[in-house]
Structure 1
Amino acid sequence: MAYFIDLPTFGDERGKLTIIEKVLPFEIKRFYYVYDVCAKRGGHRHKKTVQALVCLGGSCEVYVNNGKEEQVFVLSQPDKCLIVEPHDWHTMDHFTDGSTLLVFASEYYDVNDYIDKEYP
């Protein structure tokens, strides 16, 4: 099942700096970001890919179903990272205005890695 990790964050009078280095449970092979969202995203799981999701600004909800349990995660802090396992069916929804979701992936894009069928 998906789970949160805390990202190392350092702050002073100038602001905050968050590091994503040597904290993810995989080597980053791909990253992308999603913004100006007006409809539900995702709607799949993977055969191999592990993902790390960080909402850089604003917030969104991530629904996860691993075939045994379901959970909704709220992403609203840029120092919290949601790890989504390959077997986790997931959707991203309820994006607030101006939100940006950054995603790191353990694998390069491969259409054959996607499973579009949701668990019964």
Structure 2
Amino acid sequence: MVKNVRILEFPCYLDRFGSLVAIEACDTIPFDVKRVYYIFGVEDGVRRGFHSHEALEQVLVCVHGSVTILLDDGSEREEIVLDDPTKGLYLGHMVWREMFDFSSDAVLLVMASEHYDTSDYIRDYKVFCRQTQRR
């Protein structure tokens, strides 16, 4: 399995009124959440991501529909399908990610440990591979 990646399972409370999933920083999420955004309306065949982060941690949850995530730690690669809103994908630092095969109704929620900082991004795969070899 790719290093610095794991599936988180969130408690789901179900009753006659429906389902509820509560996500709490430093409890169900292993960091303080400083930024939240979501991706939706991705057209068929579009791939997103193509980057890694030096320090940022994230949790991805497909709250509706499905999406495939390609993960790469510089040595191992794997694909994970997110299609269950009770599961989150934890991505630590230095994990290359690409998102694709969004269902037409997909909503991908992303929780991040830091505010947006362009200097934390590694957008060149060759640079990413060189940096992972040095660690």
Greater strand content: 1
1:74 maps to 2:81: yes
The alpha carbon displacement at 1:85 in A equals: 1.2
Number of residue pairs matched by the alignment: 120
Distance in 2 (CA, whole Å) between partners of 1:116 and 1:67 is: 14
**Which runs of structure 2 are paired with 1:74-113 in the superposition (5 Å)?**
74-113=81-120
Structure of higher CA gyration radius: 2
Residue in 2 that maps onto 1:57: 64
Residue in 2 that maps onto 1:28: 33
The alpha carbon displacement at 1:13 in A equals: 1.3
Unaligned regions of 5+ residues in structure 2, if any? 131-135
Task: Provide TM-score, normalisation by structure 1.
Answer: 0.96
Moved over 4 A (4+): none
Unaligned regions of 5+ residues in structure 1, if any? none
Residue in 1 that maps onto 2:20: 17
The alpha carbon displacement at 1:68 in A equals: 1.4
Task: Select which of 3, 7, 10 maps to 1:7.
Answer: 10
CA displacement 1:61-117 (0-9 Å, x = unmatched) = 000000111110100000000001111000110000111000000010000000012
Helix, strand or coil for the counterpart of 1:107? coil
Alpha-carbon RMSD across the aligned residues, in angstroms, is 1.0
Identity of aligned residues (%): 37
Task: Provide TM-score, normalisation by structure 2.
Answer: 0.86
The alpha carbon displacement at 1:11 in A equals: 0.4
Greater helix content: 2
